[in-house]
Amino acid sequence: MMTSTQRAWEGLSNSMRLYVESKLRFNGVFAVDREEAVKNQDMAMEAKLEKFHVLYDVTKNLPDFDYFGHGDTSLIIALRNAIHHHEGHQLFQSWNARIHLNDAFERLSGAEFLLGSTTPEADALTVRFYYLLDDFYARLPALKNVEKHRTLWNSELEFAAIARAGVDGRYPTTQVYVDVMPAFMSAVRRVRSWLASTGYTPSGFDSEVYFECFGEPAPEQRLGFKRIRMP
């Protein structure tokens, strides 16, 4: 019988596979139904956040599992909670949803956006998922130890550098986005390392594949930007 941790890791692994499959289908679906394509990706991303939180729930009390002592794991939990409890705020609409739904592409004609990511542009195989940077700062007051999290995100996730580039480029805060995929990948890799230190053994095909994958050395992270002007 699988343990609760094995089930949680299996759920996270499965959600990551389904996200990739949704991403691979994106262009084909987008050509037929723009809204369906965007919402499929948004829901697949949110499923990954939910499954990460399930793993957090079953491991958070284990020795040395310090989820709130690192920028990546704390950010993913904060993001999941904000989306899960959407009542009372309109934060965390994805870049794809903002640009491609409700005739926004036409309404944003001529606007330029700054998209920051620590995944090098040369890494064409790595997917990116953007949320408005300012939404994370707006969500900080809902967290305990606000300044601690601000410092972690600013330093470990390059939020301060992205915000500074936005100011230097005279971008409105509503047009500066951050790629959360590097933080998600780093968070999963961190938890995988914690699990390995306990002697954890994955159970199931997806579980084993992703446990092995996230045991490999982390890819290089280097801050870069895309500047996209709506035609």
Written as tens digits, the pLDDT of the chain (231 aa) is 789 999 999 999 999 999 999 999 999 999 999 999 999 999 999 999 999 999 999 999 999 999 999 999 999 999 999 999 876 678 999 999 998 887 766 777 788 999 999 997 777 667 899 999 999 999 999 999 999 999 999 999 999 999 999 999 999 999 999 999 999 999 999 999 999 999 999 999 999 999 999 999 888 889 999 998 887
Residue in the structure block whose two tokens are 């300044």: 147
Give the pair of three-digit tokens for residue 128.
């990116």
> How far apart are alpha carbons 30 and 40 in whole angstroms?
10
11 contact partners, CB below 8 Å, separation of at least 6: 51, 54, 55
Predicted pLDDT of residue 1: 77
> How far apart are alpha carbons 163 and 137 in whole angstroms?
10
Q: Element (H or E) spanning 20, and its range?
A: helix 4-32
Predicted pLDDT of residue 87: 67
Predicted pLDDT of residue 88: 65
Query: What is the tens place of the pLDDT at every residue in 177-189?
Result: 999 999 999 999 9
Q: Element (H or E) spanning 13, and its range?
A: helix 4-32
Predicted pLDDT of residue 104: 66
> How far apart are alpha carbons 187 and 183 in whole angstroms?
6
Give the global pTM. Answer: 0.94
> Where along the chain do its domains lie?
4-229
Predicted pLDDT of residue 55: 98
Predicted pLDDT of residue 103: 72
Predicted pLDDT of residue 68: 96
Give the pair of three-digit tokens for residue 81.
């909670």
Closest among 192, 184, 182 to 213, alpha carbons compared: 192
The three-state secondary structure class of 116 is: strand
Predicted pLDDT of residue 105: 66
Predicted pLDDT of residue 15: 98
